[in-house]
Structure 1
């Protein structure tokens, strides 16, 4: 779906817990009136690469971390500064990739022990540290110490992206059909999926008329979901994101429009008021397939509009959103280089920076909950680390 990097027999596993031991200190805004935050570096699972991608109302932070050696990636859950390894479904790797807002469980993707008979490298391989393994990869739900697989639409692979407070989950999954619009190693068609809260049964969310594939990234408590519609492509965006889509609770898709580009039109978050954020190409890339996005916001009243970049930057992404309308993401000075975490309020974009003298450089802000806590990724020396940012002082 996005650029971000980030036969199973299910059994209970021992889950290691690591105490918070890294730097924690205050952060200040850049003089533009943005709130101050206390930044906490979150511990890894032993490796030097961690990413935080979601934060729920309880302050649980989800994402992924490499194990020692940085060749294996596991989904991770941070609670009260402690990290839990969520394991896998029989393969080496797993990850929690998008913002997931359930207060009871975690969703993500995990490799199984089965090697894909078609030699496909599914969407999840983009978010793992090691080279693609050609193993099947499916969506998971982790709760009470156990990881369980989510059903596909009849194919080998699936992807669980987001969840709401009611327990509904959305993502995408193969349906087993060959699709001539696929490219690379991808050959099977995929469609957006909503797994219901009670039974986790898979319900297809159709693409827009004329498109062959779709994928869903987020869902609010009213059952409205967002995602993409287009051609099969690599199952990681591009032509698959020809259109940004919102699905009604009954599954009817609606085109959200564009901000200029014909690919990478990708909503990633929707709140209870129906406000949507994400990223979409603007004119200026070397080719239509080039990843050249700006963050956008969409509302029922105003439609879609670009949120621009920080001064001097060339691209940006909206990555998270809360019910107060605060948007977080990143703004970059070059193509996915020299990126900075940003907060967007009332259309104004502000860089988030730790206090002078601290060791962290905030690379992105991936999610924000209704209490204003932000989860994201930072650089600390040669390591990539997950962080939590909690607002301090009056709002």
Structure 2
């Protein structure tokens, strides 16, 4: 059957919600069945950025320099936005330029997808928001069967869409065209970037806090509550929760943070800088009902040997996933946090998968986890592949963590091969974004 006819057959007029009875609230699964989603022809990198409650995933795929696909400082050479539905792939295309991407992005339960795409028009200010070195304008997009459309900015040339809920509300970032006075001389991307909410095709700027000039909204739940950050040209300073278009700062440990995801119970996940400013770790907040504010409820800590981390996704059952990186700023371990316990996801993945998960981006209501993993053996060894892990009630046997403990080290180039820098997010704090 033609891919698009097949996809149209699956298109549903309203959101569907998966029953949460698959595994119960006790998280009884002892392992995961892993699907290697591979990479498109001629690519060496792919990653799931979002997985909806149907198990459909949004994937960014392309090429990095060898060994840089799992580096925080890695720069994509090319990229395309894809979706995968039960093993069927669709390339979402572009807005006229060579590349599309979703460094933040989502597929909702309706199959609507958001991200960013280059156009064929050079940026008049020489900016490179999409990050491919082409200096083409970069616009937020909404894709739904079977068309990609550009979303409006706030008067500037560029923007990125990061999430779409099941009501069709979209959040992200858009430029307003003004020069950002907080940028250092010589900064390439030097226009004001504001958090934005798109409703009914119109862009609405969301407020920042503490007179911060810039911001980004990363996620929005089905209640219209959104999270992200405000800050300056250098990066995040304050984590933010928006409710009814009003902003409230997320409490932190004094060195900054930001919210990355919010579920329909008002639980927010993201990252905070440590009190001494030396690192950052995953964090959880909870919206205080009726106040529009949130309280910090947990700081997740780190797995042994890791230098820093972020909680990137959570579901309505309170399961949290994310990733951590090592002292060389390479993604090192995907994790799942549940019942107050942090677990290396690789201890739950079978050795037969030959995939060592370095980052878990999202988890749906069925407990399925999507992210990226390094291939430990075989003809694709060293490539970064998108994976989908589905919980199963059966013994996993030997785990990939036990079978291939040196998998990551074999892929790393020398420590001096690439200069890696963290963005400074505020006084004493270093937050990667």
Whether 2:123 is the aligned partner of 1:116: answer yes
Aligned partner of 2:113 in structure 1 is 106
Choose 203-212 or 164-173, whichever is displaced more.
Answer: 203-212
Cα deviation, residue 102, structure 1: 1.7
Segments of 5+ residues of structure 1 without an aligned counterpart are 1-13, 18-31, 126-130, 287-291
Question: Any conservation in 1 of the 2:331–2:359 contact (CA below 8 Å)?
Answer: no
Matched, 1:224 2:225: yes
Q: CA RMSD in A?
A: 2.4
Cα distance between partner residues in 2 of 1:56 and 1:338: 24
CA drift at 1:257: 1.5
SS in 1 for 2:166: coil
- Alignment correspondent of 1:246: 241
Give the structure 1 partner of residue 269 of structure 2. 277
Q: Secondary structure at the match of 1:98?
A: strand
Kept in 1: contact 2:230–2:238 (CA 8 A): yes
Partner of 2:9: none
Structure with bigger gyration radius: 2
Contact map agreement 2:335 2:342 (CA 8 A) in 1: yes
Partner of 1:331: 324
C-alpha separation in 2, matches of 1:68 and 1:116: 23
**Contact 1:101/1:165 (<8 A) preserved:** no
Secondary structure at the counterpart of residue 92 of structure 1: coil
CA apart distance, 1:146: 1.2
Contact 1:322 1:370 survives alignment (8 Å): yes
Of 186, 189, 194, the match for 1:191: 194
What whole-Å deviation, never above 9, does each CA across 1:205-250 have from its counterpart, x for those lacking one?
01114211221000011111111112133xxxx3xx10000011x2
Cα distance, 1:71–1:333 mapped onto 2, change above 3 Å: closer
Q: Do the aligned partners of 1:34 and 1:350 also contact (CA within 8 Å) in 2?
A: no
CA–CA separation in structure 1 for the residues paired with 2:136 and 2:164: 25
**2: CA distance, partners of 1:318 / 1:57:** 19
Shift of 1:99: 5.0
Query: 8 Å contact 1:43–1:83 — kept in the other structure?
Result: no
TM-score, normalized by length of structure 2? Answer: 0.75
Shift of 1:273: 1.0
- Counterpart of 1:334 in 2: which secondary structure? coil
Distance 1:213 1:55, change over 3 A: same
Q: Which runs of 5+ in 2 are unaligned?
A: 7-26, 66-75, 289-293, 376-380, 395-433
Q: What's the secondary structure of 1:90's corresponding residue? A: coil
In the alignment, the residues of structure 1 paired with residue 343 and residue 371 of structure 2 have an alpha-carbon distance, to the nearest angstrom, of 15
Contact 2:99/2:117 (<8 A) preserved: yes
In structure 2, what is the equivalent of residue 9 of structure 1? Answer: none
Say which is worse superposed, 299-308 or 154-163, in terms of deviation: 299-308
* Cα contact 1:172–1:192 (8 A) shared by 2: yes
User: Residues 338-359 of structure 1: CA distance to partner in whole angstroms, max 9, x if unpaired?
Assistant: 6111100132110112223542
- The answer (yes or no) to whether the contact 2:116–2:161 under 8 Å persists in 1 is yes
Distance in 1 (alpha carbons) for counterparts of 2:210 and 2:331: 39
Q: TM (normalized to structure 1)?
A: 0.82
Structure 2 residue aligned with 1:393 = 393
Aligned to 1:179: 180
CA apart distance, 1:283? 4.8
Aligned match of 1:92: 98
* Whole-Å separation in 2 of the counterparts to 1:45 and 1:297: 35
User: For the Cα contact (< 8 Å) 1:245–1:267, is it kept in 2?
Assistant: yes
Deviations 1:20-54 (A, max 9, x none): xxxxxxxxxxxx98631100000322111111110
Measured against aligned partners, the alpha-carbon deviations of 1:149-173 in whole angstroms (never above 9, x if no partner) come to 0100000001100111111110010
* Residue equivalent to 1:8: none
Match of 1:6 in 2: none
SS at match of 2:44: strand
- 1:382: which partner in 2? 382
CA–CA separation in structure 2 for the residues paired with 1:91 and 1:281 = 37
In the alignment, is the contact (CA less than 8 A) between 1:102 and 1:166 conserved in 2? Answer: no
User: Who is 1:24 aligned against?
Assistant: none
